[in-house]
Structure 1
Amino acid sequence: MTRNLRYLLSMIIVILAGIYFYLSCCSECGNQMVDSDTEAAKEEIVPPKEPDATSYPFSLKDGDYAFEVQDNFNFNLSSASFLTPLSDNVGNGIESLKSYLSENADKVINITGLYKGGETNNTAFPNLGLARANQVKNYFVSKGISSAQTNTFGRLMDDFLPLDNTLLGPITYEIGTQAEDAGNQLKALYDEIKANPLVLYFNTGEAAINLTPEQREKVAKITKYLDKMDGAACNVVGHTDNTGSRTTNIRLGLERADFAMAYLIKNGISASKINSSSKGPDSPIATNATEEGRSKNRRTVVTLN
């Protein structure tokens, strides 16, 4: 073997050794760098934290008087009925409020119910917030708090976050002072209701109906007046057209009046404050010779006594 050939073979061996070393060492280093980058990327990807559900406490404040616990009335979405049982903490808060209001006759408790825009309102009130506040007010009254010392309101709060299907404490409280012209306000409310009573219209032979937003507003005003005025009551009178016998229509008119009465009771008006009766076809407000006239006569009128 010549010197040149040996030199050439030596060069080839050195080159092959270098390639082997690079492939075995540097490629492993590269893999380690890739793995390191992958692990770093995994550490950087943190799933977003779910926001906490909204929760309002049972909180009462007025000067030196204060009471607060983290429990409150809770409601399912699209429901005006609070969940039971209530906690002992809420019960203690109601007793504390009862004592404070009885010692301060000029004070009132303003109850505001919160609701979300996407909820379904199947109540007689304009919105679920007011319906929820009314349910809480009725519970306060059942525990001895005077309805004359309560005011109810509803407020839209779309950013209220539920816990699963439950709203935690969508009720807020504020203690205020009786308005100086409260008597005049009640008189004005009475005059408004008497001049523009709640009228429900029915299809032929039917005794059920869904309320319009305007009718729900009137229910809220009637409820407010009955709460504030001792001895006040509302009259629910059913009417029909003259189709069929008078006996049948008297019964149908009473069914319509009873439907309205049951609807009002379901939505928090005491049965003792409602008088129901029927005049059947005896008091038409339009001619029975046309369908348009008969449709106006098929009605139930709710007004104050």
Structure 2
Amino acid sequence: MTKTTTSLIGIILTILAGILLYMKLCSSCGVPVAEEPVEEKAVVPVTPDPTSYPFAFSDGEYACDVNDNYNFNVSSSSILMPLAQGVTDCIGSLKTFLADNAGKVINITGYFKSDENNDSAFPNLGLARANAVKNHLVENGISSASINTFGKLMDEMIPKGNMFLGPVTYGLAGESADAADELKALYDKIKADPLVLYFNTAEASINLDAEQRQKVADISRYLDKVEGAKALVVGHTDNTGKASSNMRLGQERADFAKDYLMKNGISAVKIDATSKGQTQPIESNATDEGKAKNRRTVVTLN
């Protein structure tokens, strides 16, 4: 075998050895590698922080700012007690400020959401909540004449569980220059179109529509603002049964309406409840329709 042939064979053997080594060391080269499956992470919902409004208001050098407030459950106008000490202290200072500054009033605006259930006698839960705060301030010596109440829709409110943290805001202001005229117009409105509640025979129950709730709010506002004003609640019946029994039934209905107004924040001393029984029909008792109109309780002003 010649030297050239030997060299050629050596080269070929080297090439073959290289190929075999490459195949052994890179058996998976060029073969697509399957990707490891990506594990999907569970999406954790983000719970937004609950809305919180402070017990805060100011006028000139006087200011109150407490990082707490009157709290209420969802779909409720009942204040959750006890109050924070800071709120209680501020109520005392507010009483002094209003007593020392004639003509100043505090405006209270209660918030509500459109998906809440309103079981109060007021047009909305915001106004009912503001009225509840007003009543608490009155219990603590602040005149109702120095308080205005309002309700406002606030659907962006976020509760803490089943509780709203202070869904009420405040502002100090001067009484409107037209306040006397506004109250006179309100009085005339109530007297011309009083709140009338109708009852079934021998029944005493109340279910207000939106217009009637607004009348309750108007009556409440007038009683708050005018010293000596009273609501007159008069019960009437049809002529079914004895006159003496109907007089008692009319009184029961009047008392029931009075109790309903009291539960919704109108003071008992501002309500007179009486009965006229069957003595003052407004329609003929000869028809069922007439009797239904006569079974009524009328709430107006003195």
For normalisation by structure 1, the TM-score amounts to 0.89
Asked whether 1:121 is paired with 2:115, we answer no
Asked whether 1:213 is paired with 2:217, we answer no
Structure 2 Cα separation of the partners of residues 8 and 280 of structure 1: 128
Shift of 1:73: 0.6
Pairing 1:69-218 to 2, within 5 Å after superposition? 69-218=66-215
Mark the CA change 1:66 to 1:240 in structure 2 (over 3 Å): closer, same or farther: same
Shift of 1:187: 1.5
> Which letter maps to 2:126?
G
Shift of 1:280: 1.1
Structure 2 Cα separation of the partners of residues 219 and 150 of structure 1: 17
- What is the aligned-residue identity percentage? 58
Higher percent of residues as helix = 1
Shift of 1:132: 0.1
Shift of 1:49: 3.1
Q: Which residue of 2 aligns with 1:22?
A: 26
Structure 1 Cα separation of the partners of residues 140 and 100 of structure 2: 16
Q: Which residue of 2 aligns with 1:300?
A: 297
Mark the CA change 1:201 to 1:26 in structure 2 (over 3 Å): closer, same or farther: same
Superposed CA RMSD in Å reads: 2.8
Structure 1 Cα separation of the partners of residues 200 and 184 of structure 2: 35
Shift of 1:214: 0.4
Structure 1 Cα separation of the partners of residues 133 and 58 of structure 2: 18
Shift of 1:22: 3.4
Shift of 1:136: 0.1
Structure 1 Cα separation of the partners of residues 27 and 255 of structure 2: 93
Shift of 1:184: 1.8
Shift of 1:24: 7.0
Structure 2 Cα separation of the partners of residues 92 and 51 of structure 1: 31
> Which letter maps to 2:26?
Y
Shift of 1:241: 0.5
Please say which of residues 111-120 and 47-56 is displaced more in the overlay. 47-56
Structure 2 Cα separation of the partners of residues 156 and 110 of structure 1: 16
Q: Which residue of 2 aligns with 1:246?
A: 243
Pairing 1:62-73 to 2, within 5 Å after superposition? 62-73=59-70
> Which letter maps to 1:112?
T
Residue segments in structure 1 that go unaligned for 5+ positions in a row = none
Structure 1 Cα separation of the partners of residues 261 and 51 of structure 2: 31
Q: Which residue of 1 aligns with 2:223?
A: 226
SS of residue matched to 1:66: strand
Shift of 1:82: 1.4
> Which letter maps to 2:238?
D
Q: Which residue of 2 aligns with 1:260?
A: 257
Mark the CA change 1:290 to 1:111 in structure 2 (over 3 Å): closer, same or farther: same
Structure 2 Cα separation of the partners of residues 289 and 20 of structure 1: 113
| Moved >2 Å (runs of 4+) | 7-27, 45-50
Q: Which residue of 1 aligns with 2:3?
A: none
Residue segments in structure 2 that go unaligned for 5+ positions in a row = 1-5
Mark the CA change 1:178 to 1:20 in structure 2 (over 3 Å): closer, same or farther: same
Mark the CA change 1:241 to 1:24 in structure 2 (over 3 Å): closer, same or farther: same
Pairing 1:46-61 to 2, within 5 Å after superposition? 47=44, 49-61=46-58
Higher Cα Rg: structure 1 or 2? Answer: 2
